[in-house]
Amino acid sequence: MSDASERSGSGTTIGFVGLGIMGSPMAANLAAAGYRVLGYDVSAERVEQLVTAGGMAAPNIAAAAKAQIVITMLPDSPQVEEVVLGPGGVLENAVDGALLIDMSTIRPETSRAVAERAAVQGVRALDAPVSGGEKGAIDGVLSIMVGGDEAAFAAALPVLKVLGTTVVHVGASGAGQTVKAANQLVVAGTYALVAEAIVLLEASGVDASAGLDVLAGGLAGSRILELKRQSMVERRFAPGFRIDLHHKDMGIALAAAREADVALPVTGLVAQLVAAARGQGYGGQDHSVLLKVLENVSGRATT
């Protein structure tokens, strides 16, 4: 969080499950804002990091779930189903009237199923996936797209405002995930085209850094060009956002398109490039590694 004086938490307890690349700084920002953050992750190292950042360790999901507000930030639908719906999970241990905010990127239908099951137990559930990457999480400037009940959104807003600067209620349960799917297809498509621009510039003997500086200042400019052009030109691909997760998100986007009965041909092509990145062994690297795939397509692998 940018301003430590904005301590809005006033001791409210938040259970936080999933302290990875995103969850870890998000939970730390909530602790810095004055919330009592009770964190759990299958990785004990991640839990220790939260304790160092001012949070508290929960020994298991059940302990983290006994809070008025519970946030989950997990990789994919199966983990959310296990943590929220499974035995010993969040719903089994939730307090009456609790607010569950799932900030993972998962399938819209999973978010709807979670909200329905939660309602049966008197728990209000929101899907609230985020955009802005690790840096956005660290700086507390994420974009957050929220699906679910209006009153639940209003209750969650003070917490979400600690984590992000653009926080929008986009519709009923699952709508947040559909907006996130749209976000992810734009992000992957942009990376693919920036990668192609670098391949073209370098193959033509033009300084790619200088060329991309110009692109970033014109109509082609984007947050991706702003934040990632230098690391791409320098071939630095430490995540960030892993190809494996973006592969999952392209699957969500294509399934959502099928559900909505529309064709997204460019998304289909970009999804294949992301799949190729996995196939070429880049699954654990940052999604900007699409550059390596497009170099390989032209037989111009650099290292």
Of 8, 53, 247, the closest CA to residue 16 belongs to 53
**What is the phi/psi pair of residue 283, to 5°?**
-55, -35
From candidates 6, 12, 36, 75, binder to ligand NAD by CB under 6 A:
75
Q: Does 74 bind ligand NAD (CB under 6 A)?
A: yes
> Interface residues for ligand NAD in 155-214 (CB under 6 A)?
none
Q: Which stretch binds ligand NAD (CB under 6 A): 1-9, 127-135, 193-201, 204-212?
A: 127-135
Angle at 137 between CA 133 and CA 114, to 5 degrees: 85
Tell me the number of residues near ligand NAD by CB under 6 A: 27
From candidates 14, 15, 16, 21, binder to ligand NAD by CB under 6 A:
21
In the residue annotation, 292 being an active-site residue is answered as no
Which lies closer to ligand NAD via its Cβ, residue 177 or residue 201?
177
Amino acid at 85: L
Is the CB of residue 92 less than 8 Å from the CB of residue 81?
Answer: no
For residue 254, what are the CA distances in angstroms to 279, 287, 298?
A: 19, 18, 27
Q: Which stretch binds ligand NAD (CB under 6 A): 28-36, 75-83, 161-169, 195-203?
A: 75-83
Query: In the bound complex, what is the minimum distance in angstroms from residue 76's beta carbon to ligand NAD?
Result: 6
Token pair of 107 as six digits: 């399938």
Q: Which stretch binds ligand NAD (CB under 6 A): 19-27, 91-99, 156-164, 223-231?
A: 19-27
Q: Does 20 bind ligand NAD (CB under 6 A)?
A: yes
CA distance 126 to 169: 10
CA distance 218 to 235: 24
Q: Does 82 bind ligand NAD (CB under 6 A)?
A: yes
For residue 136, what are the CA distances in angstroms to 132, 185, 188, 295?
A: 5, 19, 18, 29
CA distance 201 to 209: 9
Which lies closer to ligand NAD via its Cβ, residue 151 or residue 238?
238
Which lies closer to ligand NAD via its Cβ, residue 78 or residue 279?
78
Determine how β-strand 124-127 pairs with β-strand 130-131.
unpaired
Report CA torsion sign: 266, 267, 273, 275.
negative
Which lies closer to ligand NAD via its Cβ, residue 45 or residue 96?
45
Q: Does 43 bind ligand NAD (CB under 6 A)?
A: yes
Q: Closest residue (Cβ) to ligand NAD?
A: 20
Residue keyed to tokens 């983290």: 64
- Which residues sit at the interface with ligand NAD, rule CB under 6 A? 17-23, 40-43, 46, 73-75, 79, 82-83, 104-105, 130-131, 133-134, 240-241, 245
Catalytic residues: 180
